[in-house]
Structure 1
Amino acid sequence: MPDRRYRPISPDLLARELTERIVDAPITRVAIDGAGDAPGELADTVAESLRLHGRETLRVSTKDFLRAASLRFERGKRDPDARYDDWLDVGGLRREVLDPLGPGGSGLALPALWDAERDRATRRDRVRLPPGAVVLVDGELLLGHGLPFDFTVHLWLSPGALTRRLPEDEHWALPAYKRYDSEVAPGEFADVVVRMDDPRHPALIERP
């Protein structure tokens, strides 16, 4: 990312700064976007911090909002374009989580929709959240779908770090991430962008 300043920050301070950005603001729907386990781990930490500050928080992972295997794997199990275009149930995430927690929504959200491992509905019950509650959604390739998030965080990895961090049997998906960076460019518009080449030593990317 040329023409960017990097501010080193500890993982704990990163979570604290994100909490401070959210806790006193009219923010209810938060996306933490990135590859691998880092988005989920950061979302868990921020969710706990928000609860300690008195904001009720629901954690949702896009891993629980994937489409059925017959749709995800229609072009094969290792097709990067399918991973980019077809894996996430965008309509389900909007319908079951984001719209209910938006303005005029019912407040009833479904924490998980689809069990991808068993390839069947999770049969989870909806939960009722009070006004002002926060939903933290983590996932990969999450931005650029037009989903109504109020606050977005993108955990950016350089191409080399992405290759190192993804398991070898996931390297077939690298073209999907490259396409995401090219077509969506989440680092250009997310509210917060964090370089995560080394998760122990993140750096906030500050725009000029």
Structure 2
Amino acid sequence: MAASNRDRIIEAAAALLAEGGRDAVSTRAVSAAAGVQAPAIYRAFGDKQGLLDAVADHGFVSYLRGKQSNPVTDDPVADLRRGWDLHVGFGLAHPALYSLIYGDPRIGESPAARQGSEILAGMIHRIAEAGRLRVTEERAMVMVQAAGRGMTLTLISLPEDQRDPSLSEAAREAVIAAITTDAPPEEPRGGAPVAAVALRAVLPRTTVLTAAERALLAEWLDRIATAGEVPAAG
């Protein structure tokens, strides 16, 4: 199948999704809108889920471009704040697409969601390198994703005139308080756990240790960070 036909199918499905939600993206409707036969859709995407994943990837491109072009500053926590706001803003601007990507429980992530997770992982890693992460990078990822996605889906479910922007801000600050510390790297509040997370983040760049030594040290640092996670101030 020519690339132009594939693109036309994706664009037709994306338009149907925006207009009528996921239920509007039927094989018959997409075929009619794209001007192709139904078998052509299955040959290109395998099944309907394959088509939906392609639509999600297509729609996610503009969001990822915005997030990747978001300037990186010397304050990784501030960068995470901006990333959160961009994520929520994308969801409210494209509710059907966002719900397609994040609304359905599934084992693993869709290709589009995986790309977003990689960007978030980079943000979290920079906070760890700065010595400002009070939990492991893995836990921080899960906490930010759960809170951010949950808040966005909740706001999408509300009538527009009932959406309170301060809810997102409050959730954002609660998560940031739970995973970060404002103490300078020289005197990290939380002592060993915070220091262990920071050292673990830069360990892969250490060249004076063998692979086996790095693996052993990584295990020790993970144990210190996990056993001594710093309780958030409250």
Give the alignment's TM-score, normalised by structure 1.
0.27
Q: Which has the higher contact order (CA 8 A, sep 6+)?
A: 1
Relative to total residues, which structure has the larger helix share, 1 or 2? 2
Give the alignment's TM-score, normalised by structure 2.
0.24
Instruction: State which structure, 1 or 2, has the greater radius of gyration over its C-alpha atoms.
Output: 2
